Amino acid sequence: MAVNFVRPKIPKLASDPWAIQFDSEGRLRHLLTIEGLGPEWVTRILDTAENFMSVTDREVKKVPLLRGRTVVNLFFESSTRTRTTFELAAKRLSADVLNLNISTSAATKGESLLDTLRNIEAMQADMFVVRHDKSGAAHFIARHVAPHVSVLNAGDGRHAHPTQALLDVFTIRRIKGDFTPLRVAIVGDILHSRVARSQIHALNTLNTGEVRVIAPRTLLPADVEKLGVRVFHDMREGLRDVDVVIMLRLQRERMEGGLLPTEQEFFRLYGLTEEKLALARPDAIVMHPGPANRGVEIDSRVADGPQSVILQQVSNGIAVRMAVMALCMARRSEDNA
């Protein structure tokens, strides 16, 4: 399968904190955050993912782009969808995949993170897919890996989840097309959500007409408006005439203190029901990064309803992660040519 790897020209300053994502030739080396990518690279990733969508329709769902390369899933935090789709993406690119079980690894016996990385690098690993409960962990790893290794951030603390945001905007683009006229509402626990932060950056990078966040005051970051969003505390008001509704999982494991009265009260005020969804545009789509807490942030009739594209997000995630892996590894192919 031929994929166009012509890269956008994006000038990078040494002082740019996100310059680490690119090599000295301006080629994508790591994917750590949406910040710093710019519309050219986001569009390049989405276009490449579109090319990979046809792979899932083949009898043999593989292309040889990463044959002979080794991808290591380094998950310090539990995951099902993200780890599985990264694994499928790597295997469909014909890479060898190692899933490192952190709970039984040397890290639990006192070995430092850097020692663990060095030992895996000695096994000729080419890419680390990292999920960690600490913000900045993927950046730390990217600054310490060998020059030939790429790092993909699969979620770090409250900071970022770039491939989730990319698969979300990829799904929106496939259904809605141009982002300019769209109103997109992100609803729920904005404060603790790395997904929300990355979604906001991706949507604004693609010049979305209006990005709204809907949440109680206790679940909003301070100065959230500076991210380029319009804030609503009343869900009914915030959903009026929107084209896309993105529901967020209630981040119970990251909450500190009594930020909510009860989950039942949260659902009453901020759970997505058919009645509330009727306030959006008739052709509005409903999204959720998963796993969904049914009856907490979304009603089952909406999650399984005709406007839901939640399962499409999961399927699209494989193509998007294939695209990111292929683009990061393309620099190696160029260097070896």
Residue 287 sits in the same domain as residue 197:
yes
Q: Is residue 11 part of a domain?
A: no
Q: Is residue 143 part of a domain?
A: yes
Confidence band, pLDDT 50/70/90 cuts, at residue 264: confident
Domain count of the fold of the chain: 2
* CA dihedral sign, ordered 329, 310, 161, 88: negative
Q: Is residue 24 part of a domain?
A: yes
Residue 309 sits in the same domain as residue 322:
no
Predicted confidence (pLDDT) at residue 45 exceeds the cutoff of 70:
yes
Confidence band, pLDDT 50/70/90 cuts, at residue 253: low
Tell me: the pLDDT tens digits for 58-98?
888 899 999 999 999 999 888 888 999 999 999 999 999 99
Predicted confidence (pLDDT) at residue 33 exceeds the cutoff of 60:
yes
Residue 92 sits in the same domain as residue 231:
no
Nearest CA to 197 out of 169, 223, 158 is that of 158
In the structure encoding, which two tokens stand for residue 119, read together?
Answer: 């030992």
Predicted confidence (pLDDT) at residue 10 exceeds the cutoff of 50:
no
Rounded to 5 degrees, what angle do the CA atoms 149, 22, 223 make? 115
Q: Which residue has the higher pLDDT, 11 or 257?
A: 257
Please give the residue range of the domain that contains residue 260.
162-313
Residue 115 sits in the same domain as residue 240:
no
First to last CA, the chain: 18
Predicted confidence at residue 201, as pLDDT, reads 97
Here the CATH number for the domain that contains residue 109 is: 3.40.50.1370
Residue 320 sits in the same domain as residue 268:
no
Q: Is residue 194 part of a domain?
A: yes
Mean of pLDDT values over 276-297: 95
Tell me: the pLDDT tens digits for 295-329?
999 999 999 999 999 999 999 999 999 999 999 99
Please report which helix (H) or strand (E) contains residue 75, including its range: strand 70-75
Q: What distance separates the 2 farthest-apart alpha carbons in the chain? A: 60
d(CA 228, CA 234): 19
d(CA 90, CA 255): 33
Confidence band, pLDDT 50/70/90 cuts, at residue 263: confident
Predicted confidence at residue 56, as pLDDT, reads 81
Nearest CA to 153 out of 310, 55, 6, 37 is that of 37
pTM above 0.85, yes or no: yes
User: Are 26 and 10 within 8 A, CB to CB?
Assistant: yes
User: Are 121 and 148 within 8 A, CB to CB?
Assistant: no
Predicted confidence at residue 121, as pLDDT, reads 87
Average pLDDT, the chain: 89
Predicted confidence at residue 60, as pLDDT, reads 87
Residue 308 sits in the same domain as residue 168:
yes
Residue 72 sits in the same domain as residue 141:
yes
d(CA 282, CA 277): 9
Residue 104 sits in the same domain as residue 171:
no
